[in-house]
Structure 1
Amino acid sequence: MFKDFTDPNRAEQDGWRGYVVDQGWAGFNAEEHETWDILYQRQTKLLEGRIVSPFFDGLAALGLGEGGIPELMGLNRRLHPLTGWRCVAVAGLVPDAAFFAMLAQRVFPIGNFIRSRAQLDYLEEPDCFHDIYGHVPMLAHRGLADAMARFAAEGCRAIAAGRGDAVARLYWHTVEFGLAREEGELRILGAGLASSFGEAAKSLEDPGIERRRFTVEAAAATPYRHDAMQPLYLVADSLDEAVEALATAAL
Structure 2
Amino acid sequence: MAVEPVVYGASERPPRGDYSRAGADYTCPQDYASYTPADHATYRRLYERQAALLPGRACDAFIAALPSLGVKDRIPHFDEINQRLYQATRWEIVTVPGLIPEVPFFSLLANRKFPVTDWIRKPEEFDYIVEPDVFHDLFGHVPLLFDPVFADHMQAYGKGGLKAHGLGACELLSRLYWYTVEFGLIRQKDGFRAYGAGILSSPGELQHAIASPEPQRLPLDIERVMRTRYKIDSYQQTYFVIDSFQELFDKTAPDFTPVYARVKTLDELSAAPAAA
TM-score w.r.t. the length of structure 2 is: 0.81
Instruction: Give the secondary structure class of the aligned counterpart of 1:227.
Output: coil
Instruction: Give the secondary structure class of the aligned counterpart of 2:210.
Output: helix
Equivalent-residue separation in structure 2 for 1:64 and 1:167 (angstroms): 34
1:174 and 2:180 aligned: yes
Equivalent-residue separation in structure 2 for 1:234 and 1:119 (angstroms): 28
1:156 and 2:162 aligned: yes
1:197-247 per-residue CA deviation (whole Å, 9 max, x = no partner) reads: 121111111112222221112212211112332222112233332233234
Match of 2:59 among 40, 52, 57: 52
1:25 and 2:35 aligned: no
Give yes or no for contact 2:69–2:76 (8 Å, CA) kept in 1.
no
2:45 counterpart letter in structure 1: I
Structure 2: runs of 5+ lacking an equivalent? 1-18, 258-276
Cα displacement (A) at 1:147? 1.2
Equivalent-residue separation in structure 1 for 2:252 and 2:120 (angstroms): 29
Q: Which runs of 4+ in 1 moved over 4 A?
A: none
Paired residue total: 237
1:202 and 2:211 aligned: no
Equivalent-residue separation in structure 2 for 1:48 and 1:191 (angstroms): 16
Equivalent-residue separation in structure 1 for 2:192 and 2:249 (angstroms): 16
Equivalent-residue separation in structure 2 for 1:139 and 1:109 (angstroms): 12
Mark the CA change 1:123 to 1:196 in structure 2 (over 3 Å): closer, same or farther: same
1:77-107 per-residue CA deviation (whole Å, 9 max, x = no partner) reads: 1111111111111111111221111101111
Equivalent-residue separation in structure 2 for 1:162 and 1:201 (angstroms): 36
Cα displacement (A) at 1:18? 5.2
Match of 1:214 among 208, 212, 220: 220
Match of 1:5 in 2: none
1:135 and 2:141 aligned: yes
Instruction: Give the secondary structure class of the aligned counterpart of 2:47.
Output: helix
Alignment of 1:1-251 (within 5 A): 17=24, 19-65=26-72, 67-248=73-254, 250-251=256-257
Equivalent-residue separation in structure 2 for 1:64 and 1:187 (angstroms): 25
Equivalent-residue separation in structure 2 for 1:43 and 1:240 (angstroms): 27
Equivalent-residue separation in structure 1 for 2:251 and 2:74 (angstroms): 35
Structure 1: runs of 5+ lacking an equivalent? 1-7
Match of 2:6 in 1: none
* Higher mean C-alpha deviation, range 139-148 or range 110-119: 110-119
RMSD of aligned residue pairs (Cα, Å): 1.8
Give yes or no for contact 1:151–1:248 (8 Å, CA) kept in 2.
no
Mark the CA change 1:229 to 1:84 in structure 2 (over 3 Å): closer, same or farther: same
* Higher mean C-alpha deviation, range 117-126 or range 225-234: 225-234
Equivalent-residue separation in structure 2 for 1:182 and 1:216 (angstroms): 21
Cα displacement (A) at 1:48? 0.9
Give yes or no for contact 1:86–1:107 (8 Å, CA) kept in 2.
yes
TM-score w.r.t. the length of structure 1 is: 0.89
Instruction: Give the secondary structure class of the aligned counterpart of 1:208.
Output: coil
Equivalent-residue separation in structure 1 for 2:136 and 2:86 (angstroms): 20
Cα displacement (A) at 1:181? 0.4
Equivalent-residue separation in structure 2 for 1:88 and 1:69 (angstroms): 15
Instruction: Give the secondary structure class of the aligned counterpart of 1:181.
Output: strand
2:118 counterpart letter in structure 1: N
Name the % identity: 38
Give yes or no for contact 2:58–2:195 (8 Å, CA) kept in 1.
yes
Instruction: Give the secondary structure class of the aligned counterpart of 1:145.
Output: helix
Cα displacement (A) at 1:28? 0.5
Cα displacement (A) at 1:33? 0.5
